[in-house]
Structures are given as C-alpha cells and as structure tokens.
C-alpha cells in the first residue's frame, strides 16, 4: 500500500522546502515515528520518477566541502499532484475504514 | 582515516557492483551516484555516533533495498510504471528553463553587438552623406540615397533585435509569474496540511463546553431571570474552546 504513496511521501517533504536525498530519508524516518525507513533504491527511483513527470526539479547546491549535492524542489505540477494524492488517500482511508476492524480512536501522544 | 576510506570505497564498490547489469544512461547514473552519496552520509553519521566500521557498513547495506526497483523504474522489467507519459511534456518544460537561460545569455551578447552596430551605422550614414556630398556633383541624389539606405539598415537591426528582446522579456516575466503562482499554491497547501491535522478530542471537549454554556445560560435565565449578565457564558465558552485547541496543538507538538 505504501508503494503507491512513496511519491506523495517524498513530495510532502518538498512542500515544506527544498531538500536532498539523505535529508529526505532521515525526515521520513523521523516523521513516521520510526515506522518507515525508506530504502535507498525506493527513494531514488521515486525521485527519478517524480523528476521525469515534472513534479520536482533538481539543482546543484553549493557545498563548502567541494562535493556538489543534488537538491530537489517541488514544482507547481508537483503541488497539484500532491494535493490530488492527499484527497485520494482520504477517500481510500474512509472506504477501507468501513470494512476493517477499528483499533480504537487512539491518536499519537 | 585509512580504515574509513577503505569502507567508503567499499560502499562505492558495492553499489557499482549491484548496478553493473544496468546500462549507464544518465538517469541510471544519477540514481546510482545519489544512492552512493546517501549511503556514505549515513555511514559517516553512524561512525560519528560511535558504531564500528563493520556495524555501520552492515547497516548501510541493509538499507540499500533492491536493484529490481531500479530496473523497474528504468523500464527494464516490462512492468508498468505509474504516470508515465502524462507529465513528460512538463519535464521538457523544466529542461527548457535551463536551456532558455543559456539561450538568453547568448542572445544578450548578440543583442549588444547588434545595437552597437546599429549606432555605428547611423554615424556612418551621416559621415557617408557628408563625404559623398563633397565628392558628388551638386544635383546628385546619391548622398541622400546612401544616407537613407544605411539608416534603413540600422533601423532594421534595431527593430529585429528589439522584437527578439521583447520575446525574451515576455518569457522571463511569464516564468516569474509562474513561480509566484507555485509559491502561493505551496503556501496554501501548507496551510491545508496544518489545519487538517484536527484534534477530535479537543473538538468534543469544545462541544461539551458550549453545551454546558447553553445549559448554564438557560438555568440562569429561567430560574434567576439573569438573561442579561447570563449571556456572558457564551463568549467565555468560546474562549475556553480556543484555549483547549491551543493546548491540544501544544500537546501535539511535544
């Protein structure tokens, strides 16, 4: 199920601001409360797909240590796609909730 | 440092190895290098966190994933990829942006040369006219004709390059406007995200508060006739609700 939403996950981080590979995977780990450690191949194939579809654009940042890092920025198309995916998930969640056992209304914290 | 370098290259070796069956297209190489960078950064962090070389290396390799994902993404598995061609037009749009910059740079040089040439031609026209006026017979039209022709050439230059410049300006302004629209959309989405994270506990508490306020109001009114000061329960209830929401947000942050 997550596989369909890797795009959405990565885009959600870029909505907050531009970022690069490792920072993105760290944020995913943190924001998911340690529940999702995205694999390298998953992350980079996702990023490749997003760039191919025009949802993100890449540029080189100026690193002081000489090695140039690739940063990613979300595009207008990407923002619209992200929003669409969020709505899709809301709908999916509501439908599946009708048919699955509820594990109580606990919220985090 | 020597030991660490060996492991760093080990990461590179590993990734290169796994990627060895994959044609070195630009896409594939970009992904490969990105993965190497990411793994090396993670490795460095683990080492800095106190892990020993082999532990760190093991962890980093475990998080590699599967090369099949890469193959699939590049289309070597014959499996469907999500949203393939729909956005390719837009991808060209992005690449064009960088190319547009380059083009514009080159154009600007030509533009400068053209304008200079135009001005030079104007001066030349005047000089030519004066010179020809001297050497041609009195009633000759040649000086004037020469003047007009050269001026004509200069004007053509100005008009042509002026129009090109206009075209570039327009494109630049369009892309700036687009960026502003994107930025506005992004702000909107950020707001949607933060407001959608509603806290249902806070909401039910709110409901209870307002219900209590209403009951209180009715009691004060019917039993004590205190409709007048009694109405204050509602604004107070509203404020309490606001406080509950703020507390809920603070709790969420922690």
* Residue located via tokens 């340690």: A34
The reply to whether residue A39 touches residue B65, judged by beta carbons under 8 angstroms, is: yes
The reply to whether residue B88 touches residue A67, judged by beta carbons under 8 angstroms, is: no
Is the Cα dihedral B67, B73, B74, B80 positive or negative? positive
Distance CA B252, CA B246 (A): 10
* pLDDT at res. A64: 61
Local structure of A35: helix, strand or coil = coil
Residue A109 has pLDDT above 60, yes or no: no
Give the pLDDT band of residue B118 (cuts 50, 70, 90): very high
Q: Which residues contact B209 (CB under 8 A, 6 or more apart)?
A: B237, B240, B241, B244
Range 26-85 of A in CB contact (< 8 A) with B? 37, 39-45, 47-49, 51-55, 57, 67, 69-70, 74-77, 79-80, 82-83
Distance CA B104, CA B107 (A): 5
Is the Cα dihedral A30, A35, A39, A42 positive or negative? negative
Contact, B47 vs B55, CB < 8 A? Answer: no
Looking at the DSSP bridge assignments, the partners of residue A61 are A69
Give the minimum alpha-carbon distance from A37 to chain B in angstroms, rounded to a whole number.
8
* Residue located via tokens 């007009």: B148
* Residue located via tokens 């601001």: A17
* pLDDT at res. A72: 93
* pLDDT at res. B232: 92
The separation between CA B84 and the C-alpha centre of its own chain, rounded to angstroms, equals 21
Minimal Cα distance from A58: which residue of B? B94
* pLDDT at res. A108: 46
Looking at every residue in chain B, the average pLDDT score rounds to: 83
Helices A21-31, A40-52: crossing angle, 10 deg rounding: 110
Residue B2 has pLDDT above 80, yes or no: no
Q: Which residues contact A14 (CB under 8 A, 6 or more apart)?
A: A24, A56, A72, A73, A74, A78
Give the pLDDT band of residue B98 (cuts 50, 70, 90): low
Distance CA A30, CA A48 (A): 23
* pLDDT at res. B93: 45
B35, burial (CB in 10 Å: exposed 0-12, middle 13-18, buried 19+): buried
* pLDDT at res. B5: 54
pLDDT digits (tens, 9 = 90+) for B161-179: 999 999 988 888 888 888 8
Quote the DSSP letter at residue A68: P
Give the pLDDT band of residue B204 (cuts 50, 70, 90): confident
Interface check A102 vs B, CB under 8 A: no
Which of B11, B33, B63 should be substituted to probe chain A, the one whose Cβ sees the most A Cβ atoms within 10 Å?
B63
| pTM for the full predicted model | 0.62
In the numeric block, which tokens belong to residue B9? 């290259």
Contact, A72 vs A19, CB < 8 A? Answer: yes
Q: Which residues contact A36 (CB under 8 A, 6 or more apart)?
A: A2, A9, A28, A29
């Amino acid at each position: 199920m997550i596989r369909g939403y890797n795009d959405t996950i990565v885009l959600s981080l870029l909505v907050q601001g531009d970022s690069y590979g490792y920072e993105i995977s760290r944020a995913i780990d943190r924001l998911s409360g340690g529940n999702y450690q995205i694999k390298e191949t998953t992350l980079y194939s996702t990023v490749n797909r997003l760039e191919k579809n025009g949802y993100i654009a890449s540029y080189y940042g100026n690193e002081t240590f000489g090695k140039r890092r690739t940063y990613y920025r979300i595009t207008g198309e990407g923002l619209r796609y992200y929003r669409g995916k969020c709505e899709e998930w809301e709908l999916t969640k509501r439908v599946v909730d009708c048919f699955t056992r509820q594990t109580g209304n606990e919220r985090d914290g | 440092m020597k030991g660490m370098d060996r492991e760093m290259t080990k990461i590179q070796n590993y990734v290169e190895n796994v990627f060895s069956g994959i044609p070195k297209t630009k896409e594939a190489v970009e992904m490969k290098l990105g993965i190497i960078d990411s793994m090396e950064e993670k490795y460095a962090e683990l080492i800095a966190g106190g892990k020993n070389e082999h532990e760190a290396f093991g962890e980093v390799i475990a998080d590699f994933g599967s090369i099949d994902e890469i193959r699939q993404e590049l289309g070597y598995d014959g499996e469907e990829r999500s949203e393939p061609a729909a956005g390719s037009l837009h991808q060209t749009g992005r690449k064009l942006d960088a190319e547009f910059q380059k083009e514009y740079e080159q154009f600007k040089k030509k533009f400068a040369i053209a304008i200079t040439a135009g001005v030079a031609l104007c001066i030349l026209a005047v000089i030519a006219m004066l010179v020809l006026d001297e050497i041609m017979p009195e009633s000759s039209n040649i000086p004037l004709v020469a003047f007009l022709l050269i001026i004509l050439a200069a004007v053509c230059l100005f008009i042509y390059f002026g129009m090109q410049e206009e075209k570039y300006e327009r494109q630049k302004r369009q892309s700036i406007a687009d960026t502003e629209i994107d930025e506005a959309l992004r702000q909107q989405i950020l707001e949607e995200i933060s407001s959608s994270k509603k806290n249902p506990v806070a909401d039910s508490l709110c409901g209870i508060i307002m219900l209590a306020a209403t009951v209180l109001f009715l009691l004060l009114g019917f039993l004590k006739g205190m409709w007048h000061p009694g109405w204050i329960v509602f604004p107070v209830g509203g404020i309490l609700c606001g406080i509950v929401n703020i507390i809920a947000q603070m709790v969420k942050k922690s």
